[in-house]
Structure 1
Amino acid sequence: MRVEALIFDKDGTLFDFAATWGAFGRAVLLRLSEGDTSQAAKLGKVVGFDFAQGCYQGDSVVIAGTVSEVADALIPHLKGYDHSELVGILNRESALAEQVPAVPLGPFLSNLRQTGLKLGVATNDGEMPAVQHLRSMGIRDYFDFVAGYDSGHGFKPGPGQLLAFANHVKINPSQIAMVGDSRHDLEAGRAAGMTTIGVLTGVAPAEVLEPLADVVLPDIGYIAGWLSSK
């Protein structure tokens, strides 16, 4: 069946995960630690982030978890913050993080739209920072739908965001492909009854994605060629 729509994860899919979020991780942990690098390193271990190297472990809550889940992990190790305040700080800091595209996104998305595909974003980031990231790159208007973990549709690996997109664009889920860099993304796609496309611009290697993916590609730039070959 022809794919008529694509819904993308954001971090690690539209944007290169390591290049974007390594610097962010160091900056936000230093802020929460009031500049104490030793404490920042300890907080990094809590969320699966190597502060010295600026990189994330494969099972880091930051990779596939929600902002609320990141706050849940951090708050027992912080003084003077409540949960909602910490979520707000993480969302605001995230919104300011400089995004590094996985591919030149304007031409890529324009080409997909010209073929008639509907496009969406489903992220476990908050909706506000997600929209800000897309706007900062000048690509928000290419997307028919953007959902974060706090948009009212649930969050991945649940299928709620994906099914909300299908309903929004009036396309059967079987004619939609979910594109992501983590098991959570592909599990959500499977649960929604969609084609699943894994990409390698996140942390997960191909062997982790392959059991849940119809195809694993180096990055999203290969999608058009793959669709045309089907």
Structure 2
Amino acid sequence: MTVKALLFDKDGTLFHFEATWESWAKSVLDRLTQGDTDRACAVGADIGFDYQEGRFARDSVVIAATSEEVVNALGQHFDQTAYELEAILNEEAANAPQAQAANLQEVLGALRADGLGLGVATNDAEMPARAHLEGAGITDLFDFIAGYDSGYGGKPAPGQCLAFAQKLDLETSQIAMVGDSLHDLHAGRAAGMKTVGVLTGLATEEELAPFADVVLPDIGHLPRWIAQIDMT
């Protein structure tokens, strides 16, 4: 069946994960610990981030979790309320550097020109997500932008996927969910969508392949895959 729309994860899919979130994690820990390196190292270890090396562990809560879940993990270490912690996380996320996984204006613009509907479903909050998309100059290319706090829940639940299909009045089988993590692929499959894994996050091809219809190096390879689907 022809693919009529694509729903993208954001971090690790539209943008390289490490370039964005390793810088973000260090900024958050510096801010919360007021520059106390020893404490930053200890808190970082608890959330799966090596502060000294600037690297995430593969099972870090930050990789696929919602901001709310990260707040819960941090809350045991700091006196701020959950609301205050989330505000800090979102502020630092909005200012985090972004490294595009492909030329987003070119790739997404071409997909849009081919008549595909486009959406974003992220476990980030909607506010920083929109800031990232706006910074890349691509907000207007999307029909739908949802964070975990937009009213549809977060991945791996299928709420965002189902809302996107409803927005475009499409069958979920006509849509592909594109993401770098198992959360993305599980959400897409739960909604009845095709699933596309990309290798611009931290997951390997071996990890993604059992839950994906195809695994691509990055989203720049989507047009060729869609053309192949259309020919079958």
Q: Which bin holds the TM-score, normalised by the shorter protein?
A: over 0.9
The share of aligned pairs that are identical, in percent, is: 57
Question: 1:5 matched to which residue of 2?
Answer: 5
CA distance in 1, matches of 2:223, 2:54: 33
Question: 1:221 matched to which residue of 2?
Answer: 220
Question: 1:118 matched to which residue of 2?
Answer: 117
* Amino acid in the other structure paired with 1:76: Q
CA drift at 1:227? 0.9
Q: Structure 1 runs of 4+ off > 2 angstroms?
A: none
CA drift at 1:27? 1.2
SS in 1 for 2:76: helix
RMSD in angstroms over aligned alpha carbons? 0.7
SS in 2 for 1:177: strand
Question: 1:151 matched to which residue of 2?
Answer: 150
Which shows bigger deviation, 110-119 or 90-99?
A: 90-99
* Amino acid in the other structure paired with 1:153: Y
Matched, 1:57 2:57: yes
CA drift at 1:58? 1.4
CA distance in 1, matches of 2:177, 2:142: 14
CA drift at 1:98? 1.5
CA drift at 1:66? 0.5
CA drift at 1:73? 0.3
CA drift at 1:180? 0.3
Using structure 2 for the length normalisation, give the TM-score: 0.97
Using structure 1 for the length normalisation, give the TM-score: 0.98
Q: How does 1:1-230 map to 2 (within 5 A)?
A: 1-78=1-78, 80-230=79-229
* Amino acid in the other structure paired with 2:112: R
Equivalent residues, number: 229
SS in 1 for 2:120: strand
CA drift at 1:193? 0.1
Which shows bigger deviation, 47-56 or 148-157?
A: 47-56
Q: List per-residue Cα deviations over 1:185-226 (Å, max 9, x = no partner).
A: 000000000000000100111111111000011111111111
CA drift at 1:153? 0.4
CA drift at 1:115? 0.5
Contact between 2:19 and 2:97, CA under 8 Å: does it hold in 1?
no
* Structure 2: segments with no counterpart, 5+ residues: none
CA drift at 1:43? 1.1
CA distance in 2, matches of 1:130, 1:8: 12
